[in-house]
């Protein structure tokens, strides 16, 4: 498991894609399957609002103190698999939601680049 203070579920999703892709490649190379069952690359990240500031990839103390906590899972095509957000300290408005989703999308794109680099190095 990769290091994950506050986002263990999102880290697990992101890491699981790498493991699944690697396993599928092995099955393809050994002829056990004819085509990949994977439809798209997937990654996940946490975002949150603390005192009006949007933060990416919350660590434990940030997660515990945030006003809004959100987990976002996306595909490489930019489609949402999951958006789960909770107002823990104060309700959030539409502008803050859009800001959090934009930040999450940027973070997920970065994570996908790291996934691809890890797979290329394997």
* Domain ranges within the chain, ordered by starting residue: 8-121
Which pLDDT belongs to residue 3?
55
Helix (H, G, I), strand (E, B) or coil at 50: strand
| H helical segments located in the chain | 8-29, 60-65, 94-121
Which pLDDT belongs to residue 59?
82
Q: For domain 8-121, which CATH number applies: 3.40.50.620, 3.30.230.70, 2.130.10.10, 3.40.50.300?
A: 3.30.230.70
The secondary element (H helix, E strand) that includes residue 67 is: none
Which pLDDT belongs to residue 9?
85
* Cβ–Cβ under 8 Å, residues 80 and 73: yes
Which pLDDT belongs to residue 14?
95
- If one counts every other C-beta atom within 10 angstroms of the C-beta of residue 114, the result is 13
Beta-bridge partner residues of 50: 53
Cα–Cα distance between 50 and 89 in angstroms, integer? Answer: 9
Which pLDDT belongs to residue 85?
93
Could you list the pLDDT tens digit for every one of the 122 residues in the chain? 455 555 788 989 999 999 999 999 999 999 999 999 999 999 999 999 999 999 999 888 888 888 999 999 999 999 999 999 999 888 999 999 999 999 999 999 999 999 999 999 97
pTM of the full structure: 0.89
Cα–Cα distance between 24 and 19 in angstroms, integer? Answer: 9
């Amino acid at each position: 498991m990769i290091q994950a203070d506050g986002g263990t579920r999102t880290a697990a999703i992101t890491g699981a894609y790498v493991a699944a892709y690697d396993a599928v490649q092995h099955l393809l190379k050994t002829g056990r399957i004819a085509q990949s069952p994977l439809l798209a690359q997937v990654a996940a990240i946490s975002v949150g609002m603390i005192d009006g500031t949007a933060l990416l990839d919350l660590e434990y103390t940030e997660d515990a103190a945030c006003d809004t906590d959100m987990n976002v899972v996306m595909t490489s095509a930019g489609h949402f698999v999951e958006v789960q957000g909770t107002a823990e300290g104060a309700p959030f408005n539409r502008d803050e939601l859009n800001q959090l989703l934009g930040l999450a999308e940027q973070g997920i794109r970065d994570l996908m680049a790291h996934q691809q680099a890890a797979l290329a190095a394997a």
